[in-house]
Structures are given as structure tokens and as C-alpha cells.
Structure 1
């Protein structure tokens, strides 16, 4: 980290980071970006940012018509991992009941079949993902029951400590750079850094120095202020790869039976 932090970072995080440094530790961060659908201008901006900052990136992708184009675009980006972002990223919740593509009455076997069909689509596109990211971070019980029987070995939601959930490894995001009420926009420097300070303090007090903190972005929804903040943030904090944190080596695409 720079010897002298920018003012906002120094005010929000300086005292906490000094306590970490005194204990001989530094924050462990990883980066997940959601809703990738295909090659776009914002995706190029995201990849350029990750490349310049040498920041490994987990790109949660939707199995849509442009998935193969997306896979081909990022296969030359060595720091980018593709994850499965839901079945089709379609909200099936009744109106007023939030968001999610798995609803209360869905059978586990149906969820299992959806997982398998989606993973097959990724394999046909040329990539063998190991991580599942449910849309809207909605980890329904049926999903957690079905995942251990799928080709996927890990799941990522929001705001829990890394560990095992429902028999699969779990690594969550914690710091959403956007706020969503009344339309996506930058959360704000102070709100973002204040939450990060709380997360750092929780880990320090619990002695969980190596408990990862996940940065969450949505490149298709970033405004100018979001991109500017990310440039600054990634210049300060090193990012670890999801595979490194979970000991998960990328797999080669293999054939799946229907």
C-alpha cells in the first residue's frame, strides 16, 4: 500500500489499517464482477482496469446467446476466471417478494437439472467453471442441496465468512461499489470505506486476519464516479484470485452427459 493514503482513505481507514500493520497483517481482498453477458464497451473498460492494476477478476457470466463470444474474449486475459451466474438470470419471484430465479415450490431435482444444463452450456462455450454465483445473491435451500451433486465445487453469495455451506466451499462478496435503490449508481466513497472499516475491525477483533473480503462490481451499471473510485481503490489494495484463496485450480473443459 502507498506510504500515504489519499485523504478519504486515510480518514476512513487509516487508524484501522495501522492496527493491522502493527499486528503484521494486511487485508485479504478478492474481486467479483456480476452480470457479464458478452463483449461490450464496459467489459473492455473492466478488463483494462484489471490488467493495469494486475488484479485477478472473477467474472460471473450469464449463459446467454453471447456466452461463446465472452469466453473467447477473456481467454487471453490470464487473470480472469469465469463463473456461472445463475441459469438464465431471470427473476421468478412473485411480485413484491424480492428477486431470485429459484422459488419456494421448486423441487431440488429441477434445480439439479438446471445446474447441469447450464454447466453444459459453459462447457460448449469452451470453459469449465467451478464457481456458482446465484443472481441477486439468492442462496435458496434447494440450490444448496443440489450443488454438491453438480460439476460445481464452490458458491459465492453476499456478506458471509468464507467456509463451507451446504457441503460446498463458499467465498462471498462483501463490498458492493453500487447502491441500487432508484437505479444503480456509485455508493459513495465514505459509505463504501466505512463498511470496509467495519469489516476490517470485525476480522481484527476475531483474529480472522486471513478471512477474505470480496469487492463486488457490476461493470454494465457503472457510472463515471464508480470507475474513478475503482481506479483509486485498486491502486491501493492488492487483489487475490478466487482460485488462490480457495485452492481451486482451473479445470479443462470436459464432456458432460445429458
Structure 2
């Protein structure tokens, strides 16, 4: 069944009528190497002419991935924790960078992650930290700027443009995967309605309209429905009053 895009189209029309522009960005998590799924992600980014911020797991990243990124400038590597390893008790939600270990150990891994990806990707690496499962302790956040990070990305609308002094907060806002259920695509009409509501919240002042609106994908686990909807959503947004956003190489975008 073809989704009814009317709610989103109507909201984008309101943005256009009010002379507003939506900053738009795309993050895709968990890359470590080249795969057929990465090839499909790359092709979609190129077809859309939209950079995709590839959150790379440093401990597992290989040179094949680095070579692929070098050959495809629409892929923008950022740091995805260290090993994507859970360190919290089974009674809590998974996290790698919450305060369940000595802070010095946690920050050492954050620094190692940046250093390893810098060695692999060189100047292509952007100084953004993406904690696995989008969870991070405040004291870890505060320790990221001295390591050279200039942005933190988790999920849901940000409460402040800055996560800590010298560290911008640039989150993702819509994830099309039903992680707690089928692990397939959330009902398209639900996703369309959620997107329209998120944009209306920005337009009407209930959320920060200057924060880049983030679409989050996970190329390694997509089925055809997730691929098709994600591509269609991004294309719809790009056809509206949107301005693609890319994490700067050296300075924080606020």
C-alpha cells in the first residue's frame, strides 16, 4: 500500500509559506567494513545527493571501509563509541558510555576511538561522538571536548544547543525501525505523522528549530521496506524547504 504523505506535505507547505528552512541531516550507525548493505547505503546517498554521517565502530573498523569512504565523499565518518560493547547490568538499558566503569577508562576509550578513526580516515573524519544506544553519562559528555570532539549526537530533540562547553548537541529525531517489536519498519503512517508533528513543534516554537533534523538509519539490518521508506522520506524532505547539514571538520555548528 502506498503511504499517504499528505500530513507531511501539508506541514512542509506551512514551512514554505512562512519562509522557514529546515536543516536536515542523516546518520547511519554501526559501520565496520564494506558490505552489500553499505553499497546500497552509498548508492542511496549519492542518488539523493545527501551526505550520510557514518557512525563507525572504531574497534572493528577496517581499511576496506576507509578505502570505500575515500572513494565516496557522500559518506562522512564520525566516531561511534569504541567497541559497541554493553557495560551495564542486565537490569538496565544497554550502554557503553554510562558511568558503570572508572571515568578515566571510559574517556580513554573515547580518545582511542577518535585516534583510531583519524588514522583510518584522516581529514574526512568529523569530530562528532555518537555513543552506542544513544546513551552517555553527563561526566563523560563533559570530558569529550578535551579529547578533540566538537559535537555529541544522541536521540530526541535537544534541550540545549550545547551538550557541554565546546560541544554542540546535534541529535537524531526519527528512526524507522521497530526495535522493540518486529525489528522491521514502523507503520509508515505512524512515521509520517511523527515527522509532521516533530516539524510542527519546531515551527510553533515548542522545539529548537535551529537543530538539524536528524534521520537515523542502520544499514546492516534494513529490509526492503525500511530501505524504500527511508529513501522516500528523505527525498520528500529534500523536495521541501530543507537545507542539508554536514558536521564541519573543525568547528562546531550551532
Aligned residue runs from structure 1 range 67-216, under 5 A: 67-127=62-122, 128-161=125-158, 163-167=161-165, 168-206=167-205, 209-216=209-216
Aligned residue runs from structure 1 range 18-33, under 5 A: 18-33=13-28
Identify unmatched segments of 5+ residues in structure 1.
Answer: 1-5, 252-258
Q: CA deviation at 1:74?
A: 1.2
State the TM-score, normalizing by the size of structure 2. 0.87
Aligned residue runs from structure 1 range 238-249, under 5 A: 238=238, 240-243=244-247, 248-249=248-249
C-alpha RMSD of the superposition: 2.0
Answer yes or no: is the 8 Å Cα contact 1:35–1:85 preserved in 2: yes
Q: Show the counterpart of 2:39.
A: 44
Q: CA deviation at 1:108?
A: 2.4
Detail structure 1 runs of 4+ shifted over 4 Å in the superposition: none
Q: Show the counterpart of 1:256.
A: none
Answer yes or no: is the 8 Å Cα contact 1:101–1:135 preserved in 2: yes
Q: Quick check: 175-184 or 34-43, which moved more?
A: 175-184
Q: CA deviation at 1:27?
A: 2.7
Q: CA deviation at 1:43?
A: 0.4
Relative distance call for 1:142 and 1:211 in structure 2 (3 A) is closer
Answer yes or no: is the 8 Å Cα contact 1:112–1:149 preserved in 2: no
Relative distance call for 1:105 and 1:236 in structure 2 (3 A) is closer
State the TM-score, normalizing by the size of structure 1. 0.86
Structure 2 distance, partners of 1:56, 1:139, is 25
Query: What number of residue pairs does the alignment pair up?
Result: 241
Relative distance call for 1:46 and 1:250 in structure 2 (3 A) is farther
Deviations 1:129-187 (Å, cap 9, x if unpaired)? 31110000002123212102112111100013361012211100000011101452111
Answer yes or no: is the 8 Å Cα contact 1:111–1:142 preserved in 2: no
